[in-house]
Each structure stands twice: as C-alpha cells, then as structure tokens.
Chains A and B, each alone.
Chain A
Amino acid sequence: MTWITKPKLHHPKLPANALGFTRRDYEGSVSTLCAGCGHDSISAAIIQACFEIDLPPHRLAKLSGIGCSSKTPTYFLGQSHGFNTVHGRMPSVLTGANLANRDLVYMGVSGDGDSASIGLGQFAHCIRRGVNMVYIVENNGVYGLTKGQFSATADKGSKSKKGVGNPDSPMDLVSLALIAGASFIGRSFSGDKKQLVELIKAAIAHKGAAFIDVISPCVAFNNHTGSTKSFDYVREHNEAANALEFIEGKEEILVDHDPGTTINVTQHDGSVLRLKKLAEDHDPTDRASAISFIQRHNARGEIVTGLLYVEPDSEDLQDRLGVTKRPLNSLSDADLCPGNDALEKINAGLR
C-alpha cells in the first residue's frame, strides 16, 4: 500500500493545461490498493486523459459499484462529485444522474465481479439504452477483496493461486457490449498506459455508451503461472488491433502519409480518431466483422486490444428519448408543471 501522502506542493515548472491546471489538480486521495495493482495504473491513465483534454474536473461525475475497482474513484479527480453505489448497480445510478444533468461527463468504474456477475443485467441494459458515459471495467478475473475466487471473466482452464482450474466458460464483456449495441468499444491493458490514455480520451469525446474493458492484473491473487490475467500472460498474448491517436476537433488534420493503413474516424463533436491498422482482418466501424474478429482471436487465446468498434454518428439515450437540451435539474416550476388548467382537461376526459 502507498501510505506516504504526496505533498501538495509541486514543481513550479510542472506543465499546465489550457485551463491552467496541472496534472496534480486531477489527482484524488492516496490509493489504499496493493502496491503494483493494475487499477492504480488505470486511475493514473484517467488522470492523464482528463488533464490532456482540458476537462474541468468538477464537470465530471464518477460512479462505481462495489469491489477493489469500485474503490478507485476516490483516487482520481478529487474535485468531482462521486458516488460509490451498491454491488453491480452502478449503471442504473449513472443513468439517473445522466438524465438529471446531461451537461456533465459521466464515468462509471466497475470490475469484472461487479459487471459480469451481479451486475450483468444492468451492464447490458445501460449499454443497450446508449447512456452517454464512459464505462470502464477493471478486469482481473478474480474477486480480490474476498481473497481471490474466480470471477465470471476468468478463462476456462485458468488456474487459481492455489492451483485449482476454472471449469466455467468466461463471460467476454467486449463481445457482450458489441451485441448489446455499444457505440464505442475498446480493450486495453493496465500495463499499456499510452494506449489506454488515448482510448479514454476518445471515449470521453464519444456520444453514447462507450465501454472499455481493461485487463488489470491482480498482483495479490491472480498474477501467477497458470493465470490468463497475469502481467506476463497478458504481455505475451496482447494483440493490438490498432494504434489510436485521439485528435481534438480544433487541431488541424495533416495529410495521411500511409492512406492504406490509417483510418480517420470523425466523431459527432468533431474529434478525430486516427487509427493505425495493425491487424489486417479488422474493420473498427463494422459491428459484425468486429464480433467475428474478436471471436477468432479469442479462440486462438489472443487478447485483442485497441479501439475494437466505433460508430461515428452515434446517438445517446437522451437523443432517443427526445429530452430537452437543458439539464432536467435546472428546469423551473413553470417548465415542469402544466398547472390546474391542464389538470381540468384530464378530469374532463375521465368524466
């Protein structure tokens, strides 16, 4: 555990972003997770991504369920409202918060225990509804807080720390998100910060349900030989489908030098996702081919990472419901209450 509190003072030359904030302004309280936990690297990537896109920290709301992963929202963005909800039920709280104020960025942080077992129904439905959010699953294949039982994402045949094999088929959240209709799907590895930061930046800019599955080894209970979620295993089997570069709309797009291997996807807000293709058989804008691509590689025991699917002209829950552009929590009595005259008409209709 990291018990030494970092001093608030920082180097005067620490770079600031367009808002005048340094990276330190995006930090939270000190992590109480095990030293070396993949989750802390993900928190660091979230901090880096928010700093780089000049996001005012208080304009993001962070929500989580229960578990090691769900503890992490206290470790980043200390000036953001946060809500640590109940096991597997973060999606419905996030959906409610999103409906109350559509102007904020919503970040849901969950784990494989939280999202792939008790919360599977909630996970699928908030994605199906296209809630505008970044949904990150910090996926380590075990229940860390209860000392290392297999979770639903543990691969069949993978070994527990005590050497017992997992007899059950794994739940692949990326495939599930594709089928449920997510309009942005990425997978990354907590050990690949460069890739993860770009994915988080792109996901924040994305409109609709953006899901990122991050393989995040549990150093205490799932980092041994025989595990398929250990640092060594993931490094050996990581097959990046592409290399993503997130370009904000205000930046000028230079002419591509290698048009055959680079795809530019423009999102609704003008941001551009520049994808350098690494896998020949992958088209990130075709849902059906993305599913078969992932399944093919899964069958070979490879963990495909990168931006796996994106729908550039995506819409979100509020668009589909035709909700007013003004945040619902800012509406007044006059906006919301049709008054006694309208009620009289209802009464008349019931006579």
Chain B
Amino acid sequence: MQEFIGLAYFAEIPSVLIDVQRGGPSTGMPTRTQQSDLLVAAFAAHGDTRHVLLLPADPKEAFEMSAQALDLADRLQTPIFVMTDLDIGMNEWLVDPLKWDDKKKMDRGKVMTHHDLESGRDFGRYLDVDGDGIPFRTYPGTHPDKGAYFTRGTSRDRYARYTEEGPVYVDNMERLLKKFETAKSLVPPPLKYNAPKATRYGVIYFGSTTAAMDEAILALNEKNILLDRLRVRAYPFNDSVIDFIKSHDRVYVVEQNRDAQLKTLLLDTGKVDPAKLVSVLHYDGNPITARFIVNDISLKHGLEKSAKEAVK
C-alpha cells in the first residue's frame, strides 16, 4: 500500500483513497473509532512525500468530499485521502439530505488532447508549464507519434526520461512541493466560528469531533469559557489556520488519537509557539463526547488560570 502511494505521488497518478480510520496500531480495535491515521496518510511511502487529506465531519460531507476528491486528484495528479473514521463510516447518522448540483462538471485537470499535440504544443510529462507545479498529461493511445511517455517510480527529467542526475532530481522534487503549495488554495478552507465575545482562546478540531464540539461549545459558553472555533477540513492547511493560532494566546487542539497528530501537522506547517497548542485527546475507541471535551477543556483552562493567578 505504502509503496503504491509513493509511486502515485512520484509518477503523479490521480488516485483517491478513503481511509475509514479505526483503532490502531496493528489490528488494534478493529470495530472501534479513532483519528489516528493522519500522519501515516499525510506522509505515506518511503522518501519525502506530502499528501492531500480531506477531513469530512459526517456522512453528508464524506459524500461531498469524495466527489471533490476525484476532481482534486485529476487536477493535482496526486493521491487524495478522504479521512473518515469508523464513526462516520459505519455508525448511523442523522444528516441533511444529500444534494447534487446538476450544473457541476467533472474536472479532468490538465490533459493534452490529440488537437493540442497536433497544434505543436510542447509536451513534457513533468514540465511545469503554468508555474503551479502541475504538469500536463496525455491519455494512452492519444496520438500516433506525439504525447507518448514512459513513466516510472524512478527519477526522471521533465520529459520523463530516466536520470539520476542530482540537480534534475531536485528540480522535480521542488516542483512536487510547489504543487503541494498549489493544493492549499484548491482544498476546502477551514470554517471559523467566533465566540459570543472577543476572546484570547481558541479551539481547533476536525472530522467526527464536530458534532460533539458543537454541543460542547454551548456548555463551555455557560461556564464562561469562551473559545473561537476553527474546524479544519483539509491538509495542507490554508494560511488562515496558522493566522488563527497566531491571533490567540492559547488554542486547544481536540483530536481522537494518542499522539496529537493534528497538532504535529500544525506545528510542522507554520512557525507557531508549540506552548500555545494544548491537546485534548480522546482515543479509547468510542466516539468523542461533548462531556469529555467540556471536562477536559475546563480542567486545562482552570489549570492555566490558576497558574497565571499564582504568578500574580
């Protein structure tokens, strides 16, 4: 699996993977839920890779993002992961009816046609024509003598010719990084909800935590713990995610795994003070509850308050 993902990343093969995350590692808790595959998906395969993740909150969003993932895969020519979990994937949910916009068209991305090739356009499978890191491709069998290429998991130049020359390899790896940067503006942006009053505190969460968080925030408001909320919906993170952290003194990061995997991705992405990010972790295999979030944040919020008061 990891080898294939590396191949798809390097040879730039559009592909969609739906990860219904369960309790790991190994067979772990195969009938229980977790959000513990974020890191293995984000950096899947040996060597340097970065992959696009979509983070749906419920079955309705899983439906929408799966369709979007197919378009993004073709547009970005790379694997796209839809990170659901067992709670979303196998439990029964109450969601709004699914809707489809009939005006919507599939996006097959940058594909050179027989006509394009015939008109003399230069075709290099790994040539960055538009400066966004995304090259053009052709479908097999398009043209008798133009547009064929031999792709592979080994390093090659912009015209898909095998090479082990250092600068050519680096050029390609840099372009792949540029493509990942382009992905930031194409993936679903985060959703921000402000607290009733201005606050220095925030919370970041994603996926199936959303419903519990919507409920928890009301209880926290009542306890006068005011938090601005940010639901991330994709990796790579939009710049506004890092801005959100920068504009708050303390940000709780709520996730359903042991090792704070979302926090790791946040710290890897932006220059933010790690001490600002306080993890709220739930990973016993059951879906996270509003009660857990309220209790854990109340405790950690209280500890912070009391520490500050002690300094005074």
Interface residues, chain A, with chain B CB atoms under 8 Å away: 56-59, 61, 73-74, 78-87, 89, 97, 101, 103-104, 329, 333, 336-337, 339-340, 343-344, 346-347
Q: How far, in whole Å, are A83 and B149 apart by their CA atoms in the complex?
A: 9
Instruction: State the CA gap A85–B10 with chains docked (Å).
Output: 11
The A-B contact count (CB < 8 A) is 76
List of B residues within 8 angstroms of A103 by Cβ: 141
A58 and B145 form a contact (CB under 8 A)? yes
Binding site secondary structure of chain B: loop
Closest chain-B Cβ to A131's Cβ sits at a distance in Å of 16
Nearest residue in B to A81 (C-beta to C-beta)?
Answer: B140
Contact A56 to B144, CB < 8 A, known contacts A82-B151, A86-B3: yes
Q: Report the nearest A residue to B143, measured CB to CB.
A: A58
Residues of B within 8 A of A97 (CB): 140
Asked if B139 CB lies within 8 Å of chain A CBs, one says yes
* Complex CA distance for A160 and B7, rounded to whole angstroms: 33
A83 touches B11 (CB 8 A): yes
B interface with A by C-beta (< 8 Å): 3-4, 7, 11, 97-102, 105-106, 138-145, 148-154, 162
B148 touches A86 (CB 8 A): no
Task: State whether A84 touches B150 (Cβ < 8 A).
Answer: yes
Quote the shortest CB–CB distance from A231 to chain B (angstroms). Answer: 29
**Contact present for B97 and A89 (CB under 8 Å):** no
List 29 interface pairs A-B (beta carbons < 8 Å), by A numbering: A57-B144, A58-B141, A58-B143, A58-B144, A74-B162, A80-B140, A81-B138, A81-B148, A81-B150, A82-B150, A83-B11, A83-B150, A84-B151, A84-B153, A84-B154, A85-B152, A86-B153, A87-B3, A89-B4, A101-B139, A101-B141, A103-B141, A104-B140, A333-B106, A336-B106, A337-B100, A339-B100, A340-B99, A344-B97
The answer for the CA separation of A80 and B147 in the assembled complex, in Å, is 9
Closest to A346 in B: B98
Chain B nearest CB from A309 CB (Å) reads: 29
Interchain CB contact under 8 A, A89 and B139: no
- From residue B73, how far is it (CB to closest CB) to chain A in Å? 13
Q: A89-B3, A344-B97 are in contact. List 17 more A-B contacts (CB 8 A).
A: A58-B142, A58-B143, A59-B141, A74-B162, A79-B145, A81-B141, A82-B148, A83-B150, A84-B150, A86-B4, A97-B140, A101-B140, A104-B140, A339-B100, A339-B102, A343-B98, A347-B98
